[in-house]
Amino acid sequence: MELCAGGELFDRIIQRGHYTERKAAELTRTIVGVVEACHSLGVMHRDLKPENFLFVDQKEDSLLKTIDFGLSIFFKPGEKFNDVVGSPYYVAPEVLRKRYGPEADVWSAGVIVYILLSGVPPFWAESEQGIFEQVLHGDLDFTSDPWPSISEDAKDLVRKMLVRDPKRRLTAHEVLCHPWVQIDGVAPDKPLDSAVLSRMKHFSAMNRLKKMALRVIAESLSEDEIAGLKQMFKMIDTDNSGQITFEELKAGLKRVGANLKESEIYDLMQAACVEFGFDDTRLEEMIREVDQDNDGRIDYNEFVTMMQKGNPVAGGGKRGLENSFSINFRDALKLT
């Protein structure tokens, strides 16, 4: 086991402040190099995302390491898998269709490259199911800022990594041979739009809030309590979406005789900041990162506003946008 004290990928980029397309190409080379090494050993990672890339130390030339091989699996050439694993923003369409191979890792890496260049994921929506629909059917956006100022070579690579047909998608080796990724290649050494760093910071803050909420749940419960909550979850989740909205949660808590005030929930989350080592990133600070109207809360409209320039709002209606901030308990409770 090795200590990686240099922080997460996005945090390092945000801290440095100066960020170029060439630096994005360098990071891509490292990320896809890991994928190629794994595939050459017959291993699929199956959960590639920015949070799973850590720097060894704080030095400028620190190595970038890949972590969390908990979902990785050995594969044989031509072998197909059908269990749906991974994280919503980064999961490949063939994984959702339950027939996939190592090409799925290249898709996930392609999503990371898209975020490295624009600050936002290519496919997103107000719910997990909405994200999956976009992954399966949504269009790549190369017209909104900052894409007009991104090189054609970078866009060419992203397109070829995010081809929905895995047979037509680049392999990890082919990605590393692309001219944009090459050392001293064609990636321009000019700063990316400052909005990219801003969006990346917001996106990272949202993920951190969700991670903290899930950790509060998981760390506070015994195995027996978790087993009981699986049944409670299914009872509260009236639309079987795999998520509990604020309204469903309120109704469900009343049904089981619980009555928590919003202030009490806030106090619990604030205490968790200290208990789980978020002293340097207080809850208020994380909320301020994305709270546009300074009301101390994050609603979906604020998330949409934050992402608007990077991506148009994904298709679908606006039912319940005002109160659709939800916590995905499926991850915390290991629901299948």
**Does 2 fall in a domain?**
no
Q: Give which of 177, 176, 173, 44 is closest to 108, Cα–Cα.
A: 44
Assess whether 121 and 137 both reside in one domain. Answer: yes
Q: What is the pLDDT of residue 16?
A: 61
Q: Give which of 260, 286, 276, 287 is closest to 216, Cα–Cα.
A: 276
Assess whether 287 and 166 both reside in one domain. Answer: no
Check pLDDT > 90 for residue 29.
Answer: yes
Q: What is the pLDDT of residue 148?
A: 92
Assess whether 207 and 101 both reside in one domain. Answer: no
Assess whether 64 and 162 both reside in one domain. Answer: yes
226 or 102, which is more confident: 102
Query: In one letter, which amino acid is 120?
Result: V
Render pLDDT for 139-155 as a digit per residue (tens, 0 to 9).
Answer: 999 998 889 999 999 99
199 or 74, which is more confident: 74
Average confidence (pLDDT) over 26-30? 92
Lowest mean pLDDT across 65-74, 116-125, 152-161: 65-74
Residues designated catalytic:
47
pLDDT tier for residue 330 given thresholds of 50, 70 and 90: very low
Q: What is the pLDDT of residue 300?
A: 46
Average confidence (pLDDT) over 202-214? 64
Average confidence (pLDDT) over 160-168? 98
Q: Where are the beta strands (DSSP E) in the chain?
A: 43-44, 53-55, 64-66, 73-74
Any idea what the CATH number is for the domain that residue 117 is in? 1.10.510.10
Assess whether 122 and 144 both reside in one domain. Answer: yes
Assess whether 244 and 168 both reside in one domain. Answer: no
Residues whose CB is less than 8 angstroms from the CB of residue 73 and which lie 6 or more positions away in sequence, other chains included = 43, 44, 46, 81
Check pLDDT > 60 for residue 80.
Answer: yes
Assess whether 210 and 143 both reside in one domain. Answer: no
Check pLDDT > 60 for residue 329.
Answer: no
Query: DSSP 3-state assignment of 299?
Result: coil
Which residue range(s) make up the domain with 110?
9-191
Alpha carbons 218 and 99: distance in angstroms, whole number: 31
**Averaged pLDDT score across all residues of the chain:** 72
Lowest mean pLDDT across 42-56, 63-77, 188-202, 210-224: 210-224
Rg (CA), the chain: 20
Give the helix, strand, coil percentages of the chain, each rounded to 5: 50, 5, 45
Average confidence (pLDDT) over 275-286? 50
Contact at 8 Å (CB) between 11 and 205?
no
